[in-house]
A and B are shown apart, each in its own frame.
Chain A
């Protein structure tokens, strides 16, 4: 319709600042990032004021399973990204493969994370450490679940023939969202699983 539209398709795939929807996703992610910051603030506020962290009698959780979960999340994001990059060039088969692979990896990440949460040696009710642990891990798990619902829907619509080179904002946004969840997992993992080692509690 305008020369601008053809120019925007030459821009890097994940940057579509000509679209209102792209900005809405950026705002949403900023909002969620501040939410995470509030949780991390709470965690470190209580950590700094505690005599021992984790508090006495609480075993530090093992991080191997959680690391696998996070790795799967990252892989899911990369798969979706690769698929979308192909999709906006009109290669629909690759788009479908990327989205499907991302969805399977995302489900795997969620399952591993939830199983891991079931096996930590404390509960949310044990003490403030347990509560913070489940609040932070739960935040990421809820964000991931929402991302998987989005991914399932976008995928469904792609199979119905929607989205591609001329209308890609939904593809771009779901990729940005998943990338955010994977990135948000990093400080959470570092705080919950690694910080006790660094800070001398474990």
Chain B
């Protein structure tokens, strides 16, 4: 452990230097922990909260499947069923998948690119609280009896003021918008840390694939979230203030919502999938013990996927009467994903081919990801043909397709990543036995749940029906599917059991138990608050594998020393490097812990509640609280005095 830590650059001059570093970067504990801003603290909060929401969304899915276990079941009524599938989709997309992606990025990226924290630590903490409060607002609808029930894409006119009075959709529109603010804040953090805080020497051709995937993801978030935020606000003022954008009676057009939603919604799929590719392309080479095959091609395909993702939203609207020419273009563009995804999949296969694979749990999940995602990709190519889509649109075929893409393309790689980085997060290995059992249960359970749904779709079973009559030939496939869901749920229990047990009794590990190549494995397990004793200097794409990978002598451009052994124990100094070559440029001081982000999020939550229930005074109070917190947050430190 010590050896690898020393490899990360010249050691601090003395124990005193290390002590100061620890003091400068320490996070407060106890109640004051709410003011913590460290990327590992906030990232862990994101991951744990997202997992909690995953369990809630999973329970909803289980209820859906239990209701469909047998024909004409009466476990839940039609209204409850509407609420269940709406909140299941909303929870999984907005409260689980994206926060999980960002949480993992927030935790890992500063370590992976060799810096001490994210560039705007307080914004990061603020993002977490808006996410948490947005999620709580959405779920408080269960207490107030206003559970959203318009589906996760909330199409008007069903969700407009005429057909859905009441506050149900207002909870959805405002709650989701609040959560999206958090997502955008996180995206800015992640993009800037990749652009400007890479370790000296980590030029863009030495950037880990995961960093590339998060860079593209972050930029995609910045371009795809505004239309949904704007669209949600438009629908909200249509509901509350009688504007007309989407209602035909006022001259509006319900299809406009679909355009705005899928302008967001389609890239969102890649926002979830690309980080998973980055994770797989990080884990598979380590488990196969060879560098990734075709690094440049994989990076190019990731960038290409990000660009293409904006050209295909029409394929969600083939059955809306959109002109055939537009459909044809969107269909053709959608098929291009076969090329970009093909490159990623074949690069991973080639890596495995070259290497000598260790079949530990992370690798099992990555192989599961490849198998399931390829199947989801094939049905995706089928659906990209408008004529085929017309036949199966809004049937269980589509449900099967997107669960193959999202569970295969997001959940499996993230479970693999959890097993892979758990020792880094906690200093202990995750239990392999429960890991393998959990994998096989989840892999088989997943396929048992969703494979039969393809046939259900072909047989004409529409999605979102709360029950079905006997005698249509849907019984067996529904039965199998529900059985699979129970198996999948069992696998999650097994995985959770393994996690809880390993947290207490897992084998203690050194800094780099997998013998991995990226910088985070050069830090302690779990990493110290300041991440690295000295800011590493990088001379290779696989810095911990190449003997010369971290030797400053290989850097004629290195203008050191920029090692931040703080002179003043109150300063959190980080090195800023140039965009392309990562030459050291300047030293910036990051702000420390603060309650301002929490107070600001509380103020904005008050504004949100006021908007829901038309409470003008509460809105003013909330706005002033948020403003005061903002002023406190941004107050310049004394050294900014001229």
Which residues B589-642 have CB closer than 8 A to chain A? 627, 631, 634-636, 639-642
B residues within 8 A CB of A34?
222-223, 226-227
Nearest CB of chain A from residue B514's CB, rounded to whole Å: 31
Task: Decide: B559 and A3 in contact? CB cutoff 8 A.
Answer: yes
A157 within 8 A of B: yes
Task: Decide: A27 and B636 in contact? CB cutoff 8 A.
Answer: no
Task: Decide: A128 and B251 in contact? CB cutoff 8 A.
Answer: yes
Q: Give per-residue flags for B553-587: 1 if the beta carbon is below 8 A from chain A beta carbons, else 0.
A: 00000010010000000000000101100001111
Given A20-B120, A128-B252, A27 and B192 contact (CB-CB distance below 8 Å): yes
Q: Report the interface size for chain A: residues with CB under 8 A from the other chain.
A: 52
Which residues A122-175 have CB closer than 8 A to chain B? 124-125, 127-129, 131-132, 134-135, 149, 153, 157, 161-167, 170
B171 within 8 A of A: no
Q: How far is the CA of A18 from the CA of B479 in the complex (A)?
A: 60
Given A127-B244, A128-B250, A20 and B588 contact (CB-CB distance below 8 Å): yes
Given A27-B188, A135-B234, A157-B636, A46 and B253 contact (CB-CB distance below 8 Å): yes
Nearest CB of chain A from residue B585's CB, rounded to whole Å: 5
B191 within 8 A of A: yes
A10 within 8 A of B: no
Q: Which residue of B lies closest to A3 (CB)?
A: B559
B residues within 8 A CB of A49?
253
Which of A21, A34, A166 neighbours the largest number of chain B CB atoms within 10 Å of its CB?
A34
Given A131-B250, A157-B636, A35 and B230 contact (CB-CB distance below 8 Å): yes
A92 within 8 A of B: yes
A68 within 8 A of B: no
Q: How far is the CA of A132 from the CA of B584 in the complex (A)?
A: 48
Q: How far is the CA of A48 from the CA of B451 in the complex (A)?
A: 43
Task: Decide: B252 and A46 in contact? CB cutoff 8 A.
Answer: yes
Task: Decide: A2 and B227 in contact? CB cutoff 8 A.
Answer: no
B residues within 8 A CB of A27?
187-188, 191-192, 222
Q: Which residue of A lies closest to B188 (CB)?
A: A27
Task: Decide: A35 and B226 in contact? CB cutoff 8 A.
Answer: yes
Given A38-B226, A125-B242, A161-B641, A2 and B231 contact (CB-CB distance below 8 Å): no
A residues within 8 A CB of B227?
34-35, 38, 41
Q: How far is the CA of A50 from the CA of B244 in the complex (A)?
A: 14
Task: Decide: B243 and A55 in contact? CB cutoff 8 A.
Answer: no
A residues within 8 A CB of B197?
20
Q: Which residue of B lies closest to A33 (CB)?
A: B226
Task: Decide: B631 and A46 in contact? CB cutoff 8 A.
Answer: no
A39 within 8 A of B: yes
Task: Decide: A124 and B243 in contact? CB cutoff 8 A.
Answer: yes
Q: How far is the CA of A184 from the CA of B123 in the complex (A)?
A: 25
Q: Give per-residue flags for A18-58: 1 if the beta carbon is below 8 A from chain B beta carbons, else 0.
A: 11110110011011101101110110011001100001000
- Which of B64-72, B255-263, B278-286, B423-431 faces chain A? B255-263
Given A2-B586, A125-B242, A161-B642, A31 and B253 contact (CB-CB distance below 8 Å): no
Q: Which residue of A lies closest to B120 (CB)?
A: A24
Task: Decide: B251 and A163 in contact? CB cutoff 8 A.
Answer: no
Task: Decide: A50 and B230 in contact? CB cutoff 8 A.
Answer: no
B residues within 8 A CB of A164?
642
Given A20-B119, A153-B634, A125 and B243 contact (CB-CB distance below 8 Å): yes
Task: Decide: B230 and A128 in contact? CB cutoff 8 A.
Answer: no
B residues within 8 A CB of A46?
245, 251-253, 256
Q: Give per-residue flags for B152-192: 1 if the beta carbon is below 8 A from chain A beta carbons, else 0.
A: 00000000000000000000000000000000100110011
B195 within 8 A of A: yes
Q: Which residue of A lies closest to B260 (CB)?
A: A38
Q: How far is the CA of A165 from the CA of B642 in the complex (A)?
A: 8
Task: Decide: B230 and A131 in contact? CB cutoff 8 A.
Answer: no
Given A34-B223, A45-B256, A4 and B586 contact (CB-CB distance below 8 Å): yes
A17 within 8 A of B: yes
B241 within 8 A of A: yes
Task: Decide: B259 and A41 in contact? CB cutoff 8 A.
Answer: yes
Nearest CB of chain A from residue B222's CB, rounded to whole Å: 5
B residues within 8 A CB of A28?
188
CB contact between B230 and one of A8, A30, A39, A161 (< 8 Å): that residue: A39
A199 within 8 A of B: no
Task: Decide: A163 and B250 in contact? CB cutoff 8 A.
Answer: no
A1 within 8 A of B: yes
A residues within 8 A CB of B230?
35, 38-39, 42
Nearest CB of chain A from residue B31's CB, rounded to whole Å: 29
Q: Which residue of B lies closest to A17 (CB)?
A: B579
Task: Decide: A19 and B253 in contact? CB cutoff 8 A.
Answer: no
Task: Decide: A167 and B642 in contact? CB cutoff 8 A.
Answer: yes
B residues within 8 A CB of A132?
245
Nearest CB of chain B from residue A169's CB, rounded to whole Å: 9
Q: How far is the CA of A31 from the CA of B221 in the complex (A)?
A: 9
Q: Which residue of B lies closest to A1 (CB)?
A: B587
B residues within 8 A CB of A3?
559
Task: Decide: A20 and B231 in contact? CB cutoff 8 A.
Answer: no
Which of B120, B229, B250, B263 neighbours the largest number of chain A CB atoms within 10 Å of its CB?
B250
Given A45-B253, A46-B256, A162-B642, A131 and B244 contact (CB-CB distance below 8 Å): yes
Q: How far is the CA of A167 from the CA of B642 in the complex (A)?
A: 8
Given A127-B244, A131-B244, A153-B631, A31 and B584 contact (CB-CB distance below 8 Å): no
Given A20-B197, A127-B250, A162-B641, A2 and B562 contact (CB-CB distance below 8 Å): yes
A residues within 8 A CB of B631?
153
Task: Decide: A55 and B120 in contact? CB cutoff 8 A.
Answer: no
Q: How far is the CA of A56 from the CA of B561 in the complex (A)?
A: 71
CB contact between A24 and one of B119, B226, B256, B588 (< 8 Å): that residue: B119
B residues within 8 A CB of A8?
585-586
Nearest CB of chain B from residue A4's CB, rounded to whole Å: 5
Task: Decide: B559 and A20 in contact? CB cutoff 8 A.
Answer: no
A residues within 8 A CB of B231?
38
Q: How far is the CA of A153 from the CA of B628 in the complex (A)?
A: 11
Q: How far is the CA of A55 from the CA of B640 in the complex (A)?
A: 55
Q: Which residue of B lies closest to A131 (CB)?
A: B243
A residues within 8 A CB of B263?
38, 41
A residues within 8 A CB of B634?
153
CB pairs A–B below 8 angstroms (20 shown): A2-B585, A20-B119, A20-B120, A27-B192, A34-B222, A35-B226, A38-B226, A42-B256, A46-B253, A50-B251, A125-B243, A131-B238, A131-B244, A131-B245, A153-B634, A157-B636, A162-B641, A163-B636, A164-B642, A167-B642
What 5 A-B pairs have minimum CB-CB distances, sorted nearest first?
Answer: A164-B642, A128-B251, A35-B226, A20-B119, A38-B227
Further contacts, 14 of them, CB under 8 A, given A18-B576, A23-B195, A24-B123: A4-B559, A23-B196, A31-B184, A42-B260, A45-B256, A46-B251, A127-B244, A131-B250, A131-B252, A135-B234, A161-B641, A163-B642, A165-B642, A167-B636
Residues on A facing B (Cβ under 8 Å): 1-5, 8, 17-21, 23-24, 27-28, 30-32, 34-35, 37-39, 41-42, 45-46, 49-50, 55, 90, 92, 124-125, 127-129, 131-132, 134-135, 149, 153, 157, 161-167, 170
